[in-house]
Amino acid sequence: MTELLEEILEECARYTKEGKLADYIPELTKANPDDFGIFIISGDKRVSKAGDFTKEFTIQSVVKPILLLLALMDNGIECVKNHVGVEATGKPFDAINYSEQKLLSENINPMVNMGAIAMCTLIKGDTYLDKFNRLLELTRLLANNPDIEMDEEVYLSEKRTGNKNRALAYLLKTYGMIKDDVEDVLDCYFRACSIKVSCADLAKIGLTLASHGKSQFTGERIFPAKYAYYVNAILMNCGMYDGSGEFAVKVGVPAKSGVGGGIMAIVPTRMGIGIYSPALDSKGNSIAGIKALEMLSKKLYLSIF
Amino acid sequence: MTELLEEILEECARYTKEGKLADYIPELTKANPDDFGIFIISGDKRVSKAGDFTKEFTIQSVVKPILLLLALMDNGIECVKNHVGVEATGKPFDAINYSEQKLLSENINPMVNMGAIAMCTLIKGDTYLDKFNRLLELTRLLANNPDIEMDEEVYLSEKRTGNKNRALAYLLKTYGMIKDDVEDVLDCYFRACSIKVSCADLAKIGLTLASHGKSQFTGERIFPAKYAYYVNAILMNCGMYDGSGEFAVKVGVPAKSGVGGGIMAIVPTRMGIGIYSPALDSKGNSIAGIKALEMLSKKLYLSIF
Amino acid sequence: MTELLEEILEECARYTKEGKLADYIPELTKANPDDFGIFIISGDKRVSKAGDFTKEFTIQSVVKPILLLLALMDNGIECVKNHVGVEATGKPFDAINYSEQKLLSENINPMVNMGAIAMCTLIKGDTYLDKFNRLLELTRLLANNPDIEMDEEVYLSEKRTGNKNRALAYLLKTYGMIKDDVEDVLDCYFRACSIKVSCADLAKIGLTLASHGKSQFTGERIFPAKYAYYVNAILMNCGMYDGSGEFAVKVGVPAKSGVGGGIMAIVPTRMGIGIYSPALDSKGNSIAGIKALEMLSKKLYLSIF
Amino acid sequence: MTELLEEILEECARYTKEGKLADYIPELTKANPDDFGIFIISGDKRVSKAGDFTKEFTIQSVVKPILLLLALMDNGIECVKNHVGVEATGKPFDAINYSEQKLLSENINPMVNMGAIAMCTLIKGDTYLDKFNRLLELTRLLANNPDIEMDEEVYLSEKRTGNKNRALAYLLKTYGMIKDDVEDVLDCYFRACSIKVSCADLAKIGLTLASHGKSQFTGERIFPAKYAYYVNAILMNCGMYDGSGEFAVKVGVPAKSGVGGGIMAIVPTRMGIGIYSPALDSKGNSIAGIKALEMLSKKLYLSIF
């Protein structure tokens, strides 16, 4: 298996040349576009890994399923669905999901920025820092890694330059979908995106979702199975931005990518996969990461279809 | 199992009162809104059924996955993907998927009308009637039912009143996505939508897709497994119109609905399901049909997530 | 004055190199891109002219104000406004003025194709050929030229290739804004666009609008003054496609352009101007024609603002 | 003339019942919906007035032409046009004029909020308070009224609740159309909207625009005539929000409305008109104010078409 992974990385490394680093925040341009790592953990905790799997990077949009999970744990499915819809938008992740002077919960979903920002308001906590700390705690628990921390530089960089997200948040505010102070909500969101993880972390979080909420590390049930079905289904339809359809036909498993270069893939009941390769395609997905998952899916019959 | 199905139909029958019959073509308003049937066939060909499962109705959009399958069989994945994209549009099925004076294959998918009309041109055949006849043949083969025919009245009604589809087709023509005569292409499409099926037919077609192309009835491989992965993945993301996300979280299997009231659901490797109940929700999906599938999914752990 | 016009043509001739001939119908590419003519007629019937002012070309969209005038004469302001709105659309002339699955009269105006096609249905006449003949008659009357005819080649070319207009017309049909046979309505529209005129004709039609409906040639009142106010106001806001704002600040008079290369400008109470130069800018307006009008407006203080 | 105005007010007063007060900022709901005043001043400084013409109200969007004028005076036509386009958008005044992940100067105009906010950055001044003070000075000069002040309550109310404008401004920032601090720019814009005026002030500002920049009060030229042509043309096409087309056909003169209930109308070379009636139609225009202008235009032949 390690051999297979090494082969795949070698085969797919050339695609890293075709992508480019995210540049919407200055900090992300400091990544090494040649980095490429993969980490797989199966239901019986067997681990396979290759390449730069120990490299740390910011979680970015891969935090969205964790945010959704916490929103579900805090509020239940009905409440979350009433605030943030479940349909693919047909538009880029940072689009203004709004039309004809209306903004309805049906127009957004938990995997686009507007939906993710709205979900921050659903997390329990006295302050937005409390909310973020609870999210960080859950991330650590899902990954079975108490050392996960936030990247201060990236957080500050996001906060300084995140004007598109500010525009989205003020629009949410205008239409009553944010009640609190917009900068407080955004602070929580920018912190969430700046959580630092490795391929191993993503693979383990993926495994917990693949195991429908039961930690394979502690035996503990972290969340009810129904929330895993909810999160995984949404990842299938909207997890890879406006490339989700392409990913579904090529790879066929729920997954979430982030502009930091990470991808978390979930093979229900079977395994969690973490990939890192920061060169992105035009939709914001790790270009070599997707190619690797495509090869892996074919070799290991991963598609759930 | 039959008992379970009867229970479910009884429980869900009240939802038929909340929906309404499709009225965009006059013929469809002649359906009986109280009709409600279900037919399930599993991999070992065990059958369970309840209600009005023998009723015949027009296949309407449920023909789209069959159309896609034939386009794939005739042209391969790359060609089909180049002509008709794979991303959810975020819009209703009959929307004009077009923006800023451009129409690109990425803007459409095989489950929206524009994509389905475009797929008609990909089917092999000397005339559009030949193309349709090959589609009809494939439908019979997938359903293991040589008696499947077209409903002449519905076909003529569609042809007479299908002006929205005409607008969509002329737009495809304008942007070079239809090369042939628009009325010829539409004739094939209107015929395709008018194929008459029962719950049993839909269940059996679903089973063939769940079995990845191998007929459980004849043992014959009708199409390569990779096309089943392709079709099922697209159904998951776009099969239930702009209610696909909701269906994914609630039911969790690939499915296709039609405004005739039919739903075909595919439980990969396990079973095919056909449902009929012509009262529709606002998105054009059988309202009681979805409810029944939701209950069934919970009872039988059908979700693939 | 003739000297001034010759100077302006000389000065602006170089702009013809920056534009290109309309190519959406094959016939239009046969024009000579170097042709450039101007014809001005004032309230006291003094004429000034220069360049290729005798060249004939098809009227194309410049027929829209005449179509609007006849619709007003046949139905009155209220009726016309209820069928076809009066607001600028912010979109190109052949755009699909439609959003969110609705098509309302407010979404269109008489100067975009959808509005112009809809107006054909408002003209009185037993058949669509009758309607067209009445339009042709009115055109002759306004231009004081009984010899105006339709260009058969261009008409057939439009009819053969006008698929975008077909798409627009079927959309109008879908939403009840066309009751009759779509091809009949389009036939009338394609004929209307194919009327053959010269700069002199456009200038004289413009003068009749500038004179608020009283023919300066016969002394006869052709239509009530209120319709001139209506038509001229709409030309100001929407006459030059999505370049109407630019034209208003630069030239400052109501005008209408056509992709055949003609521009008709109306200086209320003072004069009518006809220009011909078939090289178009990216919005479909005669590029040198606009430049000439800009110079002329500065020299003769034409702006009504 | 006074008699005519009184008649018109009496006739149109009933329309105030059909409109409603702006409620997007709390302060505006404190207006008296029955207030109705008009003030006309002609080129020879003859004044006619009726009703509540002394009532003060906030200028709101009627400040946009003054903002445009100052931007022109500070930067010239080319620069202003490069930053803020001139085409009608086909959308409401507070719309997000943005599509397909791009925001270009062509997408906005000086009369929609995005354009007006962008224009604040073009005003000269060391700070945004300086910029505002220069705008206030110009307003006083145009109105020949040194006592014009800002309404502190309305300003604070706008600043507190103007989240839609914040969303628009952060979008401008994202796409490089604002370089400075967004809150600073908005502060200037909110102050500008909160300038307190009467019908007399609006009429006098209108007269200065009708007189192409030469003050009829001091004989001084305040700005070059070409800027008046520019401003008046844009008002014609976009001044009455997405009701500009309707206004053009019914009244036929450049005008600007504000959600405070004011309308400033400009009859080029002839007169300036100020109207106040705070009950608005669905597009944000004073409902009785428009009716009064329509009657007045018919009686006095005001249409420039």
For residue A100, pLDDT over 70 is answered with: no
Between B89, B248, B252, which is nearest A90 by CB? B89
| Average pLDDT estimate for C57-84 | 98
Three-class SS string for chain D?
A: CHHHHHHHHHHHHHHHHHCECCCCCHHHHHCCCCCCEEEEEECCCCEEEEECCCCCEECHHHHHHHHHHHHHHHHHHHHHHHHCCCCCCCCCCCCCCCECCECCHHHCCCCCHHHHHHHHCCCCCCCHHHHHHHHHHHHHHHHCCCCCCECHHHHHHHHHHCHHHHHHHHHHHHCCCCCCCHHHHHHHHHHHHCEEECHHHHHHHHHHHHCCCECCCCCCECCCHHHHHHHHHHHHHHCCHHHHHHHHHHCCCCEEECCCCEEEEEECCCEEEEEECCCECCCCCEHHHHHHHHHHHHHHCCCCC
Note whether A38 and A274 are within 8 A (CB): yes
Q: Angle D281-D286-D287 (CA atoms, 0-180°, nearest 5)? A: 55
**What integer is the mean pLDDT of B75-90?**
95
CA-nearest residue of chain C to A102? C100
Assess whether pLDDT exceeds 90 at residue A183.
yes
Average pLDDT over residues C211-239: 97
Asked if D248 lies within 8 A of C237 by C-beta distance, the reply is yes
- Tell how strand B255-257 and strand B196-197 pair up: unpaired
Q: Which of D95, D168, D174 sits opposite A101 (nearest CB)?
A: D95
The residue in chain A having the minimum alpha-carbon distance to the alpha carbon of residue B98 is A90
What is the reported pLDDT for D83? 97
Q: How far is C100 from chain A (nearest CA, A)?
A: 8
CB contact under 8 A, C87 and D232: no
Does the structure show a pLDDT above 90 at C33? Answer: yes
Residue D200 has pLDDT above 70, yes or no: yes
Nearest chain C CA: its distance from A67 CA (Å): 31
For residue D64, indicate whether it is catalytic.
yes
pLDDT band at B111 (very low <50, low <70, confident <90, very high): very high
Among D185, D259, D267, D297, the active-site one is D259
The pLDDT of residue D296: 98
Find the radius of gyration of the CA atoms of chain D.
18
pLDDT of residue B158 exceeding 80, the answer is: yes
Q: Nearest chain D residue to A179 by CA: give it.
A: D163
Average predicted confidence (pLDDT) for chain B: 95
Main-chain phi, psi angles of B274, to 5 degrees: -120, 135
Residue C297 in tokens: 């407006």
Q: Is residue B61 annotated as a catalytic residue, yes or no?
A: yes
Catalytic-role residue among B80, B185, B231, B259:
B259
Q: In this structure, are strands D255-257 and D262-267 parallel, antiparallel, or unpaired? A: antiparallel
pLDDT tens per residue across span D84-114 = 999 998 888 888 877 666 788 988 999 999 9
CB contact under 8 A, B170 and C182: no
Q: What is the mean pLDDT of chain A?
A: 95
Residues in C closer than 8 angstroms to B166, CB to CB, are: 166, 170, 173, 182
AA letter at B48: S
Averaged pLDDT for residues A5-12: 97
pLDDT bin (cut points 50, 70, 90) of residue B100 is low
Entry pTM: 0.94
What is the three-class DSSP state of A277?
Answer: coil
pLDDT in tens, C128-141: 999 999 999 999 99
d(CA C4, CA C259): 26
SS (H, E, C) chain B: CHHHHHHHHHHHHHHHHHCECCCCCHHHHHCCCCCCEEEEEECCCCEEEEECCCCCEECHHHHHHHHHHHHHHHHHHHHHHHHCCCCCCCCCCCCCCCECCECCHHHCCCCCHHHHHHHHCCCCCCCHHHHHHHHHHHHHHHHCCCCCCECHHHHHHHHHHCHHHHHHHHHHHHCCCCCCCHHHHHHHHHHHHCEEECHHHHHHHHHHHHCCCECCCCCCECCCHHHHHHHHHHHHHHCCHHHHHHHHHHCCCCEEECCCCEEEEEECCCEEEEEECCCECCCCCEHHHHHHHHHHHHHHCCCCC
What mean pLDDT, rounded, does chain C reach? 95
Inform me whether the pLDDT recorded for A39 exceeds 80. Answer: yes
Q: Has residue A99 got a pLDDT over 70? A: no
Neighbours of B148 (CB within 10 A): 21
Does the structure show a pLDDT above 90 at B101?
Answer: no
Structure tokens at D121: 């950055």
Contact between chains at D167 and A163 (C-beta distance less than 8 A): no
pLDDT band at B26 (very low <50, low <70, confident <90, very high): confident
Q: Which residues pair with B37 in a beta bridge?
A: B51, B276
- pLDDT tens figures, C269-280: 999 999 999 999
pLDDT digits (tens, 9 = 90+) for C175-211: 999 999 999 999 999 999 999 999 999 999 999 999 9
The pLDDT tens digits for B266-293 are 999 999 999 999 999 999 999 999 999 9
With contact defined as 3+ CB pairs under 8 Å, the chains touching D are A, B, C
Verify whether the Cβ–Cβ distance D166 to A170 is below 8 Å.
yes
**Ramachandran sector of residue C256 (left: φ over 0; alpha: ψ -120 to 50; beta: rest):** beta
Tens-place pLDDT, residues C157-171: 999 999 999 999 999
Contacts of D167 in chain A (CB under 8 A): 167-171, 173-174
**C105 and C85 Cβ atoms separated by less than 8 Å:** yes
Report the candidate in A57, A72, A169, A197 with the shortest Cα–Cα distance to residue A112. Answer: A169
C87 and D88: CB-CB below 8 Å? yes
pLDDT surpassing 70 at residue D208: yes
Q: What is the mean pLDDT of residues A297-304?
A: 96
How near does any CA of chain D get to the CA of C4, in Å? Answer: 22
Neighbours of chain A (3+ CB pairs under 8 A): B, C, D
Cα distances (Å, whole numbers) of residue A68 to A63, A76, A79, B250: 9, 10, 12, 16
Interval C85-140: pLDDT, tens: 999 988 888 888 776 667 889 989 999 999 999 999 999 999 999 999 999 999 99
> What three-state secondary structure class fits A196?
strand
The yes-or-no verdict on residue A101 having pLDDT over 70 is: no
Give the distance from residue C124's alpha carbon to the nearest chain B alpha carbon, in angstroms: 25
Considering only CB atoms, D236 lies closest to which of C86, C229, C236, namely: C236
CB pairs under 8 A, 24+ apart, for B264-267?
B264/B62, B264/B65, B264/B202, B264/B203, B264/B205, B264/B206, B265/B206, B265/B293, B266/B206, B266/B207, B266/B209, B266/B210, B266/B232, B266/B235, B267/B210, B267/B302, B267/B304
pLDDT interval class at B92 (50, 70, 90): confident
DSSP-derived 3-state class of residue A273:
strand
Structure tokens at B204: 């059996």
Q: Is the pLDDT of residue C80 over 70?
A: yes
Summarised one tens digit per residue, pLDDT across range B218-259 is: 999 999 999 999 999 999 999 998 899 999 999 999 999 999
pLDDT above 80 (res A174): yes
How many cross-chain Cβ pairs, A to D, lie less than 8 Å apart? Answer: 45
* Residue of chain C whose alpha carbon sits nearest to that of A99: C100
Known catalytic residue: C61? yes
Query: What is chain D's length?
Result: 305
Across the interface, do D236 and C86 touch by the CB < 8 Å criterion?
no
Q: For residue B99, what pLDDT is reported? A: 67
Dihedral of the CA atoms B69, B75, B80, B83 (nearest 10)? -130
- Cβ within 8 Å, pair A170-D170: yes
